[in-house]
Structure 1
Amino acid sequence: MSLPRPLSGVGVVLERADGAVAVGHRVTAGETPSWSFPGGHLEGGEPVVAAALRELTEETGVVAATGTLFAVCVRLDGAGVTFAVHVPAPAGAELRVTEPHAIDAWTWAGPDDLPGPVFAHTAAVRQAWRRPGVALDGWDLHRVAP
């Protein structure tokens, strides 16, 4: 039995011990180039954190064992929901371009100093993480209690 693909995604805050986060230059056809956290869509029946860890590995080559759901970001124009997951970067994690049709470069950046323009879903995840309780136009942000 195949479940339909939900209109739900994950945004991954992959954070090194020094506080830098992974951000990729998004070059998906039909979109304006922007900078994005790793992420993607949930597959039918897939748990949120498992989806985040899968997308992280698929997009960056980084294999991580754990992650924590910290927010739910609802796009008010009806474009879906992004689950925000924090993942501590494994020691020595190296970012690799594995899907050049979608992301042509990865880098580490300060979470409050990402290159721009920033992809809308990444902006929502960052807002929920760095400025909980502060509204963001076009989004309904919900922090998840630890």
Structure 2
Amino acid sequence: MTAERPVVGVGIIVERPDGRILLGRRVKPAEPETWCLPGGHLEAGETVEQAARRECFEESGIADSTDATTYVAVVDSGSPRGGVVFGVHARSTGAPTGPGEPHIFPEWIWADPADLPRPLFPASDALLRAWTGAPPDPAWQVLRVRAG
């Protein structure tokens, strides 16, 4: 039997000019309901930023995310499968036209980062903690990404 390889994922913090960020209500079967950043898996041939923008468009319909910059990688060292998720920050003046995946994300909202809905999807929580400077969850290793 071959061991499963860790997942390489992306999550994108899409920020409006007023500072609010995009979150989707995630209702995936066999998982607890959570709030989640747009995101998903990195596909072959994509940059991290391309993957994040693609996932954002596929899930929420927002196509105008600009200034996409990778700021962190978080490693899930607390689960048996593990995985690494790259965090991307971008700006948008658009509105969600989705949900593009209504069976998983029936609702998208713009949330105040100081008053986020709970519970958060674990990877989204790890990315948001890194972005805001909050202490990391002990199950996640935080690796800052330097631009350039």
Q: Same fold (TM over 0.5)?
A: yes
* Aligned-partner residue type, residue 28 of structure 2: T
Could you tell me how far apart the structure 2 residues matched to 1:97 and 1:50 are?
20
Could you tell me how far apart the structure 1 residues matched to 2:86 and 2:17 are?
22
SS at match of 1:18: coil
Mapping 1:103-122, distance limit 5 Å: 103-122=105-124
* Aligned-partner residue type, residue 80 of structure 1: G
**TM, length-normalised to structure 1:** 0.89
User: Between the two proteins, what is the percent identity of the paired residues?
Assistant: 40
Match of 1:7 in 2: 7
SS at match of 1:67: strand
Match of 2:54 in 1: 54
Q: Which stretches of structure 1, 4 residues or longer, exceed 2 Å deviation after superposition? A: none
Cα RMSD between the aligned structures? 1.6
Could you tell me how far apart the structure 2 residues matched to 1:105 and 1:15 are?
17
Deviation per CA, 1:20-63, whole angstroms, max 9, x where unpaired? 00000001111111000110111123211100010010011011
* Aligned-partner residue type, residue 144 of structure 1: V
Mapping 1:29-44, distance limit 5 Å: 29-44=29-44
Contact 2:35 2:120 in 1 (8 A): yes
Deviation per CA, 1:108-142, whole angstroms, max 9, x where unpaired? 0011311111100110000110016x332200011
